[in-house]
């Protein structure tokens, strides 16, 4: 019988620290619900003391999630721990995650504390956390660059003070697999385990070793792995949950340790995150990338057709990638759509199913075949858009050349008022953006522009993602349409709506 590995997901905390990966409250709640469906054991919902916004999202997620444990990060001080407890105490299964650095470098230069003072803080503050919450995790920040014997003392202290999970972070992605496994073994052999404790690891990916280090630690006896969906996170990111999970499944013969992840939810979860943060899944990303199950070489194609296992070590279905069958057509009914949505990981209210149904029907008039990805794009467009201050009512674009500049005219609703504007541009997309911005009297900087065909085929939906910034704030926007200039304008309007929402929250 395989051992059970606890998966601690920190997509909403460490993951959100990844450049450009900020999420708003409804997006965080949606992501947390999906993480629960994915079967992660612990959801680190945020760092409650870091801002009122973080406090609110930790608190709302704690109130929403039913089966998974919900954790808040806290520095090793009274105020942070109290704030974290205020935020998570409503959870069915709350956890306080207290951290303090233990490496000479961090203690001397960052904390300006002696090792003895660090041990003292751990003893007092972890006890305080344990007096509030029955489930306390202690992390020794920068463990991989700490003195192993000092780490043992720090963990002994944390355990005696009431921590039941002891986390060994490779905070700066410095460790190597064999060395890290050795450190985990060293600690596990020496920490006094008067009661049951779980040893955990938290690896960063600065040298591309986060997954390898986490797996080496599992082999050494760690029974909790911390990571994120798609490996997003601070700097080069964190250990990638889907890579860790599928390695443990595919090589169960070697590890004999399995997480409770519902693997069929992996791909829907990666897609949802990618849509929310506006960052595409890289084509060659292990497990979830589009090329992960694509076979280009003739010999490989021939082999896979004869027996899939010749060149595939796992099936696309196992991670929840359907074979992209046509799902719906002009004559499909509401219940077929609802079933499809549920298979894709979306449980929508009746009213939202009706909205998507109408959009699918409309699309079916313009597009012969409707795939999962089309439906998903419509769900994101029609159901999950933030409530709009600005609405694009009409767009007319004329392309041009050197002697006749491209032009665009828009008709928009801006906070209930009707506005019309026309503008020139370097190209039709630029002209559309200029017309939208001029109608709304905004001057954002376009940081990135990405266009993607949602499915194959000449009539595919075009999905545009833009990132804009203005006055120190940035926002991602998306738009999907069979016409990519319309999709671009919708993406810009969506980004401006989100930016406006952020500005209002900042005030």
- Partner whose binding site includes residue 141, from Zn ion, ligand KIV, none (CB under 5 to 8 Å by kind): ligand KIV
SS3 content of the chain, % helix, strand, coil (to 5): 45, 20, 30
In angstroms, what is the minimal distance from the CB of 472 to ligand KIV?
Answer: 25
Please state, in angstroms and as integers, the Cα–Cα distance from residue 116 to each residue in 75, 153, 322, following that order. 17, 10, 56
Q: What is the crossing angle of helices 484-506 and 428-440, to 10°?
A: 30
The distance of closest approach from Cβ of residue 222 to ligand KIV in the complex, given in angstroms and rounded to an integer, is 14
Q: What is the footprint of ligand KIV within residues 151-170 (CB under 6 A)?
A: 169
Residues in 204-223 that interact with ligand KIV by CB under 6 A:
204
List the structure tokens of 403.
């002697």
Alpha-carbon dihedral sign for residues 143, 147, 152, 155: negative
- Of 14-22, 37-45, 139-147, 244-252: span binding Zn ion (CB under 5 A): 14-22
463 interacts with Zn ion by CB under 5 A: no
Q: Where are the beta strands (DSSP E) in 425-482?
A: 445-453, 462-470, 473-481
Nearer to ligand KIV, 206 or 312 (CB): 206
User: Between residues 139 and 407, which has the closer beta carbon with respect to ligand KIV?
Assistant: 139
SS3 (DSSP) at 342: helix
Q: Establish how many alpha carbons lie within 13 A of residue 382's alpha carbon, considering only the half-sphere containing its beta carbon.
A: 21
Q: Which is nearer to Zn ion, 141 or 264 (CB)?
A: 141
**Nearer residue to ligand KIV within complex by CB, 80 or 374:** 80
Answer whether 398's CB lies under 8 Å from 406's CB. yes
Question: Closest approach of Cβ 172 to Zn ion, in Å?
Answer: 9
Contact residue for Zn ion among 14, 16, 264, 430 (CB under 5 A): 14
Count, residues near Zn ion per rule CB under 5 A = 1
> In Å, what is the CA distance from 287 to each residue of 109, 308, 444, 466?
40, 16, 36, 26
* Contact string 66-105 vs ligand KIV (x = CB under 6 A): -------x-------------------------x------
> For residues 5 and 487, which CB has a smaller minimum distance to ligand KIV in the complex?
5
Q: Which is nearer to ligand KIV, 174 or 346 (CB)?
A: 174
Query: Which residues ranging from 100 to 139 are in contact with ligand KIV (CB under 6 A)?
Result: 139
How far lies 369's CA from each of 105, 197, 317, in Å?
A: 59, 53, 21
Which residue's CB comes closest to Zn ion? 14
Which of the choices ligand KIV, Zn ion, none does residue 139 contact, using the CB cut-off of 5 to 8 A by kind?
ligand KIV
- Measured from the Cβ of residue 185, the count of other Cβ atoms closer than 10 Å reads 16
The residues pairing with 238 across neighbouring beta strands, listed in sequence order, are 204
Interatomic CA distance for residues 269 and 304, integer angstroms: 27
Instruction: Candidates 171, 200, 263, 500: give the one binding ligand KIV (CB under 6 A).
Output: 171
Residue 259's beta-bridge partner residues? 5
* Interface ranges with Zn ion (CB under 5 A): 14
- Residues at the interface with ligand KIV (CB under 6 A): 14, 73, 99, 139, 141, 169, 171, 202, 204
């Amino acid at each position: 019988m395989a051992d059970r590995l606890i998966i601690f997901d920190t997509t909403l905390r460490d993951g959100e620290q990844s450049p450009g990966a900020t999420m708003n409250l409804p997006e965080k709640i949606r992501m947390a619900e999906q993480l629960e469906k994915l079967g992660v054991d612990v959801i680190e919902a945020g760092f409650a003391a870091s801002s009122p916004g973080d406090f609110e999202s930790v608190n709302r997620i704690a109130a929403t999630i039913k089966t998974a444990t919900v954790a808040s990060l806290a520095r090793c001080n009274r105020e942070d721990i109290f704030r974290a407890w205020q935020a998570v105490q409503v959870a069915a299964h709350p956890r306080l995650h207290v951290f303090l650095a233990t490496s000479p470098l961090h203690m001397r230069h960052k904390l300006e504390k002696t090792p003895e003072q660090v041990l003292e803080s751990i003893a007092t503050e972890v006890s305080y956390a344990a007096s509030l919450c029955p489930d306390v995790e202690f992390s020794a920040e920068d463990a991989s660059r700490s003195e192993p014997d000092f780490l043992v003392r720090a963990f002994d202290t944390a355990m005696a003070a009431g921590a039941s999970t002891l986390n060994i972070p490779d905070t700066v992605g410095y460790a190597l697999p064999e060395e890290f496994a050795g450190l985990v073994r060293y600690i596990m052999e020496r920490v006094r385990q008067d009661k049951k404790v779980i040893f955990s690891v938290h690896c960063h990916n600065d040298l591309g070793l986060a997954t390898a280090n986490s797996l080496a630690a599992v082999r050494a006896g760690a029974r909790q792995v911390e990571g994120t969906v798609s490996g997003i996170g601070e700097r080069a990111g964190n250990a990638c949950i889907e890579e860790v999970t599928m390695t443990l499944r595919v090589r169960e013969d070697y590890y004999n340790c399995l997480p409770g992840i519902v693997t069929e939810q992996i791909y829907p979860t990666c897609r949802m995150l990618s849509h929310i943060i506006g960052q595409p899944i890289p084509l060659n990303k292990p497990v979830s990338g589009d090329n992960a199950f694509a076979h280009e070489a003739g010999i490989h194609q021939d082999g896979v057709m004869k027996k899939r296992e010749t060149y595939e070590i796992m099936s696309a279905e196992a991670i929840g990638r359907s074979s992209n069958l046509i799902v719906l057509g002009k004559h499909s009914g509401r219940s077929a759509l609802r079933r499809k949505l549920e298979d894709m990981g979306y449980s929508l209210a009746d009213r939202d199913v009706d909205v998507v149904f109408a959009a699918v029907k409309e699309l079916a008039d313009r597009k012969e075949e409707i795939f999962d990805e089309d439906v998903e794009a419509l769900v994101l467009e029609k159901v999950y858009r933030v409530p709009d201050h600005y609405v694009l009512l009409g767009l007319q674009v004329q392309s041009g050349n050197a002697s006749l500049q491209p032009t665009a005219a828009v008709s928009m609703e801006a906070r209930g008022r009707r506005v019309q504007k026309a503008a020139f541009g370097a190209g039709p997309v630029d002209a559309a953006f200029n017309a939208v911005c001029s109608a709304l009297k905004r001057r954002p900087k376009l940081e990135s522009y990405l266009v993607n065909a949602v499915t194959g085929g000449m009539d595919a939906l075009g999905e545009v993602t833009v990132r804009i910034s203005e006055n120190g704030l940035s926002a991602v926007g998306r738009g999907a349409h069979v016409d990519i200039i319309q999709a671009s304008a919708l993406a810009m309007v969506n980004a401006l709506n989100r930016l406006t929402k952020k500005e209002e929250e900042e005030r």
